[in-house]
């Protein structure tokens, strides 16, 4: 099967995700969970429409563009907004992307509604939940639930910008079904969940 | 597959405590984590805001909102009523009242006043809430024919196609394409009526549900027969209590008259703007957080509980009996559309006008004078400001019609205040699932607050929001961008 990526002819297998044959930045996609299509950083233009490369399968004759002016602007803006609202201090790959995209978060001005002021939650001996650094990608919720563990110790709280993961009934983790397997830490891309052993 | 939905289980247990949530989760057969996510999503499970609340919408914003707000304990999301005059809602415990003409009317009794509908052409010119009354006016003829096999499902589909009916919820997708796709799908199939009108400036579905329940139900059942749907759900905005009670009574009357070929039930919606997005609506019906799904697959292939599902707007379905009665050709010529016209016009209300009517004429019908207006907000919150009064009101035009809201603003109105209301509305209503929308709508509020006119910045805001997962985020900047255009043109 053949398609065109940025004008170049590409050979691909039926069912291949565009993410596997193109190289847009991506954050919420993880091969072991069902989470995808959320961060929108991997959007590409397919036959004139914006589609997430992490959920779109390659098809015969597709015209894919991964680096248009519009997509550049979109990614730059999204990264700036993340940096504006969230502490990316433990997310070196996101900071590198921001730099590569010439991001200037300050050009948007101040945002009173902010994730940065959240206090880290230390309710167990193994890891922290530091939601000031959380971008709400839900990878942890999925890893704990449907995606990997089937344990369901994590839930979602709220709507809009301040939505973030929590525990059932907002209980401390040890009072939930959590088995401290560490899968949620493994998938967290921002260091919002991190082992206490890494804290100095 | 199909499990008992969590929402009714929670509703039955209000006000909630931890034990009741756990019990509802058990009965629904879902992990407590999922149930907790639901409780922490819908405002009504967090407890209703108490006191005297000002209903907030762009019209209220144009009428000295801060002054009105001073006498209120808080705000309440749009209900459609406030488009007629500024309005307060009083919430005491679980009881809710509308303050209307100096009286406190319980929600379960309050219907939009019928003194609307000037310019009616196809819609009956009086409210019809009784079965006998509906039949006396020629209603149910087509449903009876369909039940007696005198009107085949295929013929209904053909009529809808010939009429060229476009979905009236805002997306304007051809109704017959969706219906045929569902009819082709594997059984069981479902039909869901999207009756969660929560968009500022729109009150046409509310009006139809409250005053023409049989028309809505006949259209719904015809669509169910045409698509072979075996269950019908009316997803009705929770606040429209009078409409819910009226529909339940009408369903019962149809059943008693043996005119209910498909099990039909009313489902109380989650009461949020995003619940009107068709895939979020389905999630909500299934008892989850009302968060839009990735498309494809589309609901016509995998909808409710993964089955082929027709999700259709109230007004769209109400047109089916009218199309059959008029004949598709004649209906097509008349192309009726309901417009909710409000704001600075002498007679705010609901108007049935043919598509193609120039905007200025629509405004004049409602007693407005285009010359005295600064602009019109066309389409609702997900709409645009315009002063192109020659614009023909039709789908597929240059400017989106949305669900058909027209809000007029007089010369002295500060449109930036109105825009701020819209921006705050989007920030509050963003579900938070994808990245661009919760971030962008929050940033937008601050940009509007400081009256940011930098073209690059506004352009970049729009570019990023365009990448949102659903229509809410994708349209959240339209009003902003259009206000700058209106200012430029002035
Ligand atoms: S450590 Fe606990 S919360 Fe994290 S995935 Fe494992 S069970 Fe779930
Ligand atoms: S804690 Fe980490 S994995 Fe979980 S939602 Fe936040 S950023 Fe994503
Ligand atoms: S665009 Fe907004 S409302 Fe739609 S899925 Fe994204 S966050 Fe939710
Ligand atoms: S990686 Fe594709 S949308 Fe996040």
Q: How far apart are CA B472 and CA B482, in angstroms?
A: 17
Please name the residue that has the structure tokens 């600075």. Answer: B344
pLDDT at B399 over 90: no
pLDDT of residue B114: 75
ipTM of the complex: 0.97
B37-61 pLDDT per residue, tens = 999 999 999 888 899 999 988 767 7
Given a contact cutoff of 8 angstroms between Cβ atoms, the answer to whether B102 and B88 are in contact is: no
Please name the residue that has the structure tokens 């009529």. Answer: B159
> pTM for the whole thing?
0.96
Please indicate if any CB of chain B lies within 8 Å of the CB of A154: yes
B438-454 pLDDT per residue, tens = 999 999 999 999 999 99
pLDDT of residue B116: 61
Average predicted confidence (pLDDT) for chain A: 95
Q: Do B31 and A135 touch (CB under 8 A)?
A: no
For CA atoms B147, B153, B157, B162, the dihedral sign is: negative
Q: Do B40 and A85 touch (CB under 8 A)?
A: no
pLDDT of residue A190: 97
**Atom 2 (ligand 1): residue with closest C-alpha?**
A178
Ordered DSSP codes for chain A:
-EEEETTEEEE--TT-BHHHHS----SS--TTSS--SSS-TTEEEETTEEEETTTPBP-TT-EEES--HHHHHHHHHHHHHHHHHS--TT-HHHHHHHHHTT--GGGG---SS-STTPPPB--SSSEEE-GGG-----HHHHIIIIITT-----EEE-SGGG-EEE-GGG--GGGTT-----HHHHH-SSSSEEEGGG--
Percentage of the residues of chain B whose pLDDT score is greater than 70? 98
> What part of A 177-196 touches B (C-beta under 8 Å)?
none
The β-bridge partners of A44 are: A51
Pocket-testing residue among A33, A164, A192, ligand 2, by greatest number of atoms within 8 A of Cβ: A192
Please indicate if any CB of chain A lies within 8 Å of the CB of B474: no
B227-277 pLDDT per residue, tens = 999 999 999 999 999 999 999 999 999 999 999 999 999 999 998 999 999
Best residue of A26, A97, A149, A159 to probe chain B, by most B CBs closer than 10 Å: A159
Pocket-testing residue among A33, A129, A151, ligand 1, by greatest number of atoms within 8 A of Cβ: A151
pLDDT at A200 over 70: no
pLDDT band with cut points at 50, 70 and 90 for residue B324: very high
pLDDT of residue B119: 62
Minimal C-alpha gap between B455 and chain A (Å): 13
CA distance between the termini of chain B: 57
The whole-number average pLDDT for the span B295-301 is: 96
* Long-range own/partner contacts, residues A116-124 (CB < 8 A, 24 or more apart): A116/A85, A116/A86, A116/A87, A118/A164, A122/A196, A123/A172, A123/A173, A123/A174, A124/A172, A124/A173, A124/A174, A124/A178, A124/A180
The whole-number average pLDDT for the span B193-208 is: 94
Please indicate if any CB of chain B lies within 8 Å of the CB of A33: no
Distance A36 CA to ligand 4 centre (A): 5
**What is the separation of C-alpha A199 from the centre of its chain, rounded to a whole number of angstroms?**
23
pLDDT band with cut points at 50, 70 and 90 for residue B81: confident
| Residues in chain A closer than 8 A to B431 (CB atoms) | 159-160, 163
Ligand 4 shell residues, CB under 6 Å: A 26-29, 36-42, 52, 54
pLDDT at B428 over 90: yes
Q: Report the SS3 class of residue B312.
A: strand
pLDDT of residue B179: 98
pLDDT at B1 over 70: no
- Write the residue in B18, B428, B447 that is nearest to A160 by C-beta: B428
Q: Do B463 and A167 touch (CB under 8 A)?
A: no
- Write the residue in B34, B41, B447 that is nearest to A159 by C-beta: B41
Q: Which of A173-177, B316-320, B342-346 has the lowest mean pLDDT?
A: B342-346
The whole-number average pLDDT for the span B184-203 is: 95
For ligand 1, whether the C-beta of A139 sits within 6 Å is: no
Encode burial over B39-62: b for 16+ CB neighbours within 10 A, e otherwise: bbbbebbeebeeebbbbbbbbbbb
| Residues in chain B closer than 8 A to A39 (CB atoms) | 434-435
Q: Do B464 and A78 touch (CB under 8 A)?
A: yes
A109-163 pLDDT per residue, tens = 999 989 999 999 999 999 999 999 999 999 999 999 999 999 999 999 999 999 9
| Residues in chain A closer than 8 A to B464 (CB atoms) | 73-74, 77-78, 81
A74-109 pLDDT per residue, tens = 999 999 999 999 999 999 999 999 999 999 999 999
Q: How far apart are CA B415 and CA A35, in angstroms?
A: 40
Ligand 1 atom, smallest distance to A127 CA: 1
Q: Which tokens is A87 given?
A: 């502490």
pLDDT of residue A20: 94
Please indicate if any CB of chain B lies within 8 Å of the CB of A65: no
Please name the residue that has the structure tokens 């699932």. Answer: B433
pLDDT of residue A153: 98
Average predicted confidence (pLDDT) for chain B: 94
The whole-number average pLDDT for the span B458-471 is: 98
Distance A38 CA to ligand 2 centre (A): 12
pLDDT of residue B80: 85
Taking residue B229's Cβ as centre, other Cβ atoms within 10 Å add up to 28
Distance B138 CA to ligand 3 centre (A): 43
pLDDT at B82 over 90: no
Minimal C-alpha gap between B339 and chain A (Å): 30
B106-152 pLDDT per residue, tens = 999 999 887 665 666 788 888 899 999 999 999 999 999 999 999 99
Encode burial over B298-316: b for 16+ CB neighbours within 10 A, e otherwise: bbbbbbbeebbbbbbbbbb
Q: Report the SS3 class of residue B387.
A: coil
Please indicate if any CB of chain A lies within 8 Å of the CB of B230: no
Q: Do B435 and A39 touch (CB under 8 A)?
A: yes
A16-58 pLDDT per residue, tens = 999 999 999 999 999 888 889 999 999 999 999 999 999 999 9
**Atom 4 (ligand 1): residue with closest C-alpha?**
A184
Q: Report the SS3 class of residue B54.
A: strand
For ligand 3, whether the C-beta of B432 sits within 6 Å is: yes
Percentage of the residues of chain B whose pLDDT score is greater than 90? 83
């Amino acid at each position: 099967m053949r398609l065109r990526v940025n004008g170049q002819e590409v050979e691909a297998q039926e069912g291949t995700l565009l993410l596997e044959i193109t190289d847009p930045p991506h954050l919420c996609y993880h091969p072991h969970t069902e989470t995808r299509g959320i961060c929108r950083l991997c959007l590409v233009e397919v036959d004139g429409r914006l589609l997430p490369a992490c959920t779109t399968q390659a098809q015969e004759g597709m015209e894919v563009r991964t680096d248009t002016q519009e997509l550049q602007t979109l990614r730059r803006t999204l990264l700036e907004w993340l940096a504006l609202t969230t502490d990316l201090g433990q997310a070196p790959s996101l900071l590198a992307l921001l730099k590569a995209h010439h991001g200037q978060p300050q050009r948007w001005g101040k945002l009173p509604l902010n994730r940065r002021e959240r206090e880290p939650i230390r309710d167990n001996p193994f890891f922290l939940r530091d939601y000031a650094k959380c971008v709400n990608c839900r990878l942890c919720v999925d890893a704990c639930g449907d995606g990997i563990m089937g344990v369901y110790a994590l839930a979602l709280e709220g709507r809009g910008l301040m939505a973030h993961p929590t525990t059932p009934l907002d209980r401390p983790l040890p009072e939930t079904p959590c088995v401290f397997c560490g899968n949620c830490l493994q998938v967290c891309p921002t260091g919002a969940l991190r082992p206490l052993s890494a804290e100095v | 597959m199909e499990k008992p939905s969590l929402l009714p289980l929670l509703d039955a247990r209000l006000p909630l405590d931890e034990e009741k949530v756990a019990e509802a989760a058990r009965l629904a057969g879902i992990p407590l984590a999922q149930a907790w996510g639901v409780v922490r999503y819908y405002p009504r499970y967090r407890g209703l805001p108490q006191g005297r609340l000002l209903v907030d919408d762009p019209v209220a914003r144009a009428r000295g909102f801060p002054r009105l707000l001073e006498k209120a304990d808080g705000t309440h999301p749009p209900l459609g009523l406030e488009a007629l005059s500024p309005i307060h809602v009083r919430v005491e415990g679980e009881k809710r009242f509308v303050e209307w003409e100096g009286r406190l009317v319980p929600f379960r009794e309050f219907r939009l006043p019928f003194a609307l509908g000037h310019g009616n052409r196809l819609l009956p010119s009086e409210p019809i809430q009784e079965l006998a009354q509906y039949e006396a006016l020629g209603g149910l003829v087509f449903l009876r024919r369909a039940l007696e096999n005198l009107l085949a499902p295929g013929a209904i589909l053909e009529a809808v196609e010939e009429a060229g009916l476009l979905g009236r919820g805002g997306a304007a997708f051809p109704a017959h394409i969706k219906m045929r796709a569902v009819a082709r799908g594997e059984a069981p199939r479902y039909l869901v009526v999207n009756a969660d009108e929560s968009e500022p400036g729109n009150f046409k579905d509310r009006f139809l549900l409250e005053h023409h329940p049989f028309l809505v139900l006949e259209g719904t059942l015809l669509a169910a027969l045409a698509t072979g749907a075996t269950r019908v759900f009316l997803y009705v905005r929770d606040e429209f209590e009078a409409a819910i009670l009226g529909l339940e009574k009408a369903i019962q009357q149809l059943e008693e008259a043996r005119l209910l070929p498909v099990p039909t039930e009313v489902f109380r919606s989650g009461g949020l703007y995003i619940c009107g997005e068709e895939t979020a609506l389905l999630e909500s019906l299934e008892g989850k957080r009302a968060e839009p799904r990735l498309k494809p697959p589309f609901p016509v292939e995998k909808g409710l509980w993964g089955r082929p599902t027709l999700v259709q707007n109230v007004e769209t379905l109400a047109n089916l009996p009218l199309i059959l009665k008029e004949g598709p050709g004649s209906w097509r010529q008349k192309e009726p559309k309901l417009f909710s016209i409000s704001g600075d016009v002498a007679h705010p209300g609901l108007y049935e006008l043919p598509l193609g009517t120039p905007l200025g004429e629509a405004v004049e019908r409602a007693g407005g004078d285009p010359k005295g207006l600064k602009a019109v907000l066309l389409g609702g919150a997900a709409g645009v400001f315009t002063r192109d009064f020659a614009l023909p009101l039709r789908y597929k035009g240059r400017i989106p019609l949305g669900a058909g809201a027209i809000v007029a603003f007089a010369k002295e109105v500060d449109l930036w205040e109105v825009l701020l209301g819209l921006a705050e509305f989007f920030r509050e209503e963003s579900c938070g699932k994808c990245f661009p929308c919760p971030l962008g709508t929050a940033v937008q509020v601050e940009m509007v607050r400081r009256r940011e006119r930098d073209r690059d910045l506004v352009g970049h805001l729009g570019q990023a929001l365009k990448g949102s997962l659903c229509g809410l985020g994708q349209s959240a900047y339209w009003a902003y961008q259009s206000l700058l255009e209106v200012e430029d043109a002035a």
